[in-house]
Amino acid sequence: MKKLMEQMAEELSAAFEKAGYDPSYGKVTVSNRPDLCEYQCNGAMAGAKAYKKAPFMIADDVVAHLKDSHVFSMAEVVKPGFINLRVKEEFLADYLKKMEADEKLGVSEAEHPKTIIIDYGGPNVAKPLHVGHLRSAIIGESIKRIGRFVGHKVIGDVHLGDWGLQMGLIITELKCRKPDLVYFDDSYTGEYPREAPFTISELEEIYPCASGKSKTDEAYRSQALEATHLLQQGNRGYMALWNHIMQVSVTDLKRNYDNLNVSFDLWKKESDAQPYIPDMVAKMKEDGFAYEDQGALVVDVKEETDTKEIPPCMLLKSDGASLYTTTDLATIVERVKLFDPDEILYVVDKRQELHFIQVFRCARKTGLVKDDLEFKFLGFGTMNGKDGKPFKTRDGGVMRLENLIADINEEMFRKIVENRSVKDKDAEDTAKIVGLSAIKYGDLSNQATKDYIFDVDRFTSFEGNTGPYILYTIVRIKSILNRYMEEGGNLEEGEILPAVNESQKNLMLLLTGFGSTVENAFEETAPHKICAYIYEVSNAFNSFYHETRILSEENPEQKKSFIQLLCLTRKILETSIDLLGFSAPERM
Ligand code: ARG
């Protein structure tokens, strides 16, 4: 579907041409004087030099050709030469009718659909999910949904961290505590037990304990490094333990992501890349890219244009163990082999940027990927508390995701009950739905690369630029539609008629922007643009609602027209929040 802006520009370009000027001057922008006009064209200003003519004379010539325009109700020259524009009400109503009929509500699907892998979530096995992983999950999920909506084949991969030192630490600590476990008996050749020798809560206690010890106890740390290495070499007992750890952790992770309405197509992990490492490394050596430096194997990735030093990419440590870089490179090899992607997008904390610069350069330089494969890194900022420091619990500990969600839901529940008398069970379910919107919108409404302050009071407010406010607006529309149906109205009847007042027209004009907003949000990997858009639409709807009698409108066709406009507004808002990864309740 052609965008409204494009159609306006076409009209303008044709008028420029008819008046004897270059049609490329016919660009249209949103007005910066909304009190005077809705859109404007500054082409006459731009053309003045080329035609050696006063801008307003050019503008006059152009406007003469817009007299019978079916798009504009007003095209007016203001000095020194701007063309102020207003859209014709009939044209606008017709445009919205076309949007209604379009399955994608005016979003154009990609002409050349790409296969895109999004690497997000990135939790580490056996460590509890903390708020740092929250952003990756929320942003990645939204980009995945937006990408699919615009027609790409998007594959979401959680890329579990399961191959690093944390595994060696857990194994070492288990060995300290229960040295008699059969997993530590090298001479054992029988089957290992099915049941894990720990629960998730034990596992979550073991890791921080081991990590703490390794920081003060050198011998302990070497043991953990050794255990990590043995695991990577495929030690039988350690592999069996690793399987238990995976089993217990993944079950817990899936439950957590379910609560967040986040899902992955692939539950791949760092260890899946292990089989690709030997060949990959051998080839990098053979091709002369990898060389030994102080015992370690490295590839140079610095470039002449670098303004800061980019250190070599380390492939293997001196003891032969692989690193975070190694698994990331080998994961690329695997992804190319299994999915032949056109693009891989990593949604990871921006503090890991250097790591990804090294990985991308190394992959390109050593020919792991085809030339036109695009690597993208969306590095997000830190989620801070009100004190401006990384978000913590009240007593200063690391905030667990589960607890954060519980806190928000509790606050939401309190507000909902305070607001009205809904039955308790109902209020609890509603609090969960609205609570999720508070968390997700609070995060997504900020530009991803920036740090932001997680402010429970603000995020859970029903007023202002918040998730609950957007949901409140949707619920308001739903309740009007329900009342309409209770009175015998049929949502399938009627059509959108030209706007009857300014607030209605403003809402209608905003709705036309859905297509370009979503396309733009995808191109710029910027879900916050959808947030900004639906905030504007919600405000416009609420003004319209306050200024217009909808259900008490006496003219039946006019009333039906309002109802159709409500249906379209609801559809656009609901589609938008679905792209952001949350939904609206029936009541609030
Ligand atoms: N597990 C990592 C962490 O917690 C994030 C993984 C990001 N993805 C990747 N391919 N390296 O820091």
The per-residue pLDDT for range 23-39, each reduced to its tens digit, is 999 999 999 888 999 99
Give the pLDDT confidence of 76-94 residue by residue, as tens digits.
999 999 999 999 999 999 9
How high is the pLDDT of residue 128?
74
Task: Give the confidence band of 424 by pLDDT, cuts at 50, 70, 90.
Answer: low
> Does residue 119 line the site of ligand 1, with CB under 6 A?
yes
Task: Reply yes or no on whether the pLDDT at 423 is more than 70.
Answer: no
Helix, coil or strand: residue 73: strand
How high is the pLDDT of residue 390?
84
Q: In what order do the strands lie in the sheet with 82-87?
A: 29-30, 39-41, 82-87, 72-78
Give the residue, out of 158, 211, 348, 377, with the most ligand 1 atoms within 8 A of its beta carbon, to mutate for a pocket test.
348
Centroid of ligand 1 to alpha carbon of 401 (angstroms): 17
Q: What is the pLDDT of the chain when averaged over all its residues?
A: 95
Centroid of ligand 1 to alpha carbon of 405 (angstroms): 22
> Does residue 163 line the site of ligand 1, with CB under 6 A?
no
Q: Whose CA is nearest to atom 11 of ligand 1?
A: 328
> Does residue 124 line the site of ligand 1, with CB under 6 A?
yes
How high is the pLDDT of residue 180?
95
How high is the pLDDT of residue 22?
97
Give the pLDDT confidence of 409-419 residue by residue, as tens digits.
999 999 988 87
Domains, in order of start, for the chain: 4-87 (3.30.1360.70), 115-156+272-384 (3.40.50.620), 165-259 (no CATH), 434-580 (1.10.730.10)
Give the pLDDT confidence of 278-302 residue by residue, as tens digits.
999 999 999 999 999 999 999 999 9
Of ligand 1's atoms, which has the minimum distance to the CA of residue 355?
11
- Residue 93 · residue 497 · CB < 8 Å: yes
Nearest to 527 by CA among 135, 53, 81, 66: 135
Q: Which structure tokens are listed for 211?
A: 């990590």
How high is the pLDDT of residue 232?
86
Give the residue, out of 158, 266, 352, 360, with the most ligand 1 atoms within 8 A of its beta carbon, to mutate for a pocket test.
352
Report CA-CA distances (Å) from 568 to 14, 289, 314, 508, 510: 31, 57, 54, 10, 12
CA gap 303, 307 in Å, rounded: 9
> Does residue 159 line the site of ligand 1, with CB under 6 A?
yes
Q: What are phi and psi of 39, to 5 degrees?
A: -135, 165
- Arithmetic mean of pLDDT, 234-248: 94
Nearest to 152 by CA among 100, 122, 115: 115
- Arithmetic mean of pLDDT, 572-576: 98
CA gap 118, 133 in Å, rounded: 15
> Does residue 360 line the site of ligand 1, with CB under 6 A?
no
Centroid of ligand 1 to alpha carbon of 400 (angstroms): 18
- Residue 567 · residue 481 · CB < 8 Å: yes
- Residue 383 · residue 391 · CB < 8 Å: yes
How high is the pLDDT of residue 320?
84
Nearest to 509 by CA among 520, 498, 495: 498
Task: Reply yes or no on whether the pLDDT at 420 is more than 90.
Answer: no
Q: Which amino acid is at 327?
A: T
Centroid of ligand 1 to alpha carbon of 59 (angstroms): 56
> Does residue 140 line the site of ligand 1, with CB under 6 A?
no
How high is the pLDDT of residue 129?
80
> Does residue 164 line the site of ligand 1, with CB under 6 A?
no
Q: Whose CA is nearest to atom 12 of ligand 1?
A: 122
Helix, coil or strand: residue 390: strand
250-282 burial, b at 16+ Cβ within 10 Å, e below that, comes to bebbeebbeebbbebebebbbbbbbebbeebbe
Q: Whose CA is nearest to atom 7 of ligand 1?
A: 122
- Arithmetic mean of pLDDT, 155-167: 93
- Cα-Cα-Cα-Cα dihedral sign, residues 558, 560, 566, 571: negative
How high is the pLDDT of residue 551?
97
Nearest to 210 by CA among 194, 234, 193, 227: 227
Neighbours of 286 (CB within 10 A): 9
Centroid of ligand 1 to alpha carbon of 344 (angstroms): 14
Task: Reply yes or no on whether the pLDDT at 425 is more than 80.
Answer: no
